[in-house]
Chains A and B, each alone.
Chain A
């Protein structure tokens, strides 16, 4: 297709790493990615679920463009995108958060699941039977009545915040908690859940600064 290869695919223990050239045009990159997946690398596309880490080099991409890369890779059945990283982001640490939470709008209804890598802000409700999974913080601007799982990859310093905290279940990292009756404060203030010494705590949003100024290492 092109004389120069812009994409290298390496196998590592956790799955596959896609190394994307950071000098060429983005459109060229997308075309080549599609071509590779569909035409030349079909042996990747059979067999069990494979986790994919995409490394962008020094290229910086917006969420839209990242989503385009994800959708090209995801369209191939068994490939699951785990991360998309630029090397400059890597400088900030392995779990460097993007510049702000990803914002989505709508109601997560019974039977629906939203997954996100990073922090997530939902403008809307999570209904009973709905699930929200997130590697970072979860902020629900609305009623949280379903299941929220923050820190799905094991981070314990994340929080779950909701304008109306009425969850069926809260999970942070691998701690699972069912809300006991006393959680139901009944007031309409925004609350958040966090881990303190390995157990789930709930507090008013105004208290968050204490946690985030002196991060609790569990």
Chain B
């Protein structure tokens, strides 16, 4: 029986889908059997980020409404043998599927996969309840902005009510801005949110580039964000990996990577 992890944030645009795609891929890279589930019905993106859009035949709503079996809707990744995704429908609405239906699908997937990564839509309404229904734990993505931290806090509160343990990822950190005091720093955010930190991801232009080309960032080991996501995947598997040092120069950074045994 695998584990289902929901990636959520409350606020939009903080990197839920990017995180889901990269974590899923990184876990597959580490040899795990992974299925990613896009629950953002009506605004599906995960397939685009993964570069699998043109392979979609059936989607989550088709499964919910019994037009196909769950297995038929799964799309196999083009890079990994054991990486799959269940796409959301683009034409329907979040109300067209119930939390119970999503939970049943996730339960079914957990039988076959080591990890089920659920990509949650922004907001805390029906779509959010769908996404968390089948999850065993949650990863809350936030950025070093007050609004994002506020929303993450709200979401953590809601997850606590559902008794889902949550951890946070702080995404898109710009170290030079943090240094100048123009951006919240990691300690400040952790103090407010008071949950475990599972990783930090530096802001990296390569993320945008790779999302546009349908190739998860994690595949490019020269990207710092890729290393950050790989570290997070290892932490999910239970490895102890030190937090990435953000303000190192390229030379020192390479040494650091060598020290971790990656890159």
Contacts and interface: CB of A to CB of B under 8 A. Distances in A.
B194 interface: yes
Interface string A122-153: 00010111100000000000010100000000
Contact of B154 (A110, A143, A145): A110
B151 interface: yes
B141 to A, nearest CB: 16
B194 A110 contact: no
B194 A129 contact: no
B250 interface: no
A128 B148 CA distance: 12
B150 interface: yes
Nearest to A108: B157
B195 to A, nearest CB: 9
A125 B193 CA distance: 10
Nearest to B195: A107
Contacts of B191: 143
Contacts of B193: 127
Given A110-B151, A128-B150, A129-B150, A145 B157 contact: no
B125 to A, nearest CB: 13
Contacts of A127: 153, 192-193
Contacts of A145: 192
A107 B154 contact: no
Interface residues of A, number: 12
A129 B156 CA distance: 13
Contacts of A107: 157, 194
Contacts of B146: 128
Nearest to B193: A127
A128 to B, nearest CB: 6
A92 interface: no
A111 interface: yes
A112 interface: yes
A102 interface: no
B173 to A, nearest CB: 20
User: Which of B153, B191, B194 gathers most chain A CB within 10 Å?
Assistant: B153
A109 interface: yes
A125 B157 contact: no
Contacts of B156: 109
Interface in A93-126: 107, 109-112, 125
Closest 10 CB pairs of A and B: A109-B157, A110-B154, A110-B153, A111-B154, A109-B153, A127-B153, A112-B157, A110-B150, A129-B150, A107-B194
25 contacts: A107-B157, A107-B194, A109-B153, A109-B154, A109-B156, A109-B160, A110-B150, A110-B151, A110-B153, A110-B157, A111-B154, A111-B157, A111-B158, A125-B192, A125-B194, A127-B153, A127-B193, A128-B146, A128-B153, A128-B192, A129-B150, A129-B154, A143-B191, A143-B192, A145-B192
Given A107-B157, A128-B146, 4 more contacts: A125-B192, A128-B150, A128-B153, A143-B191
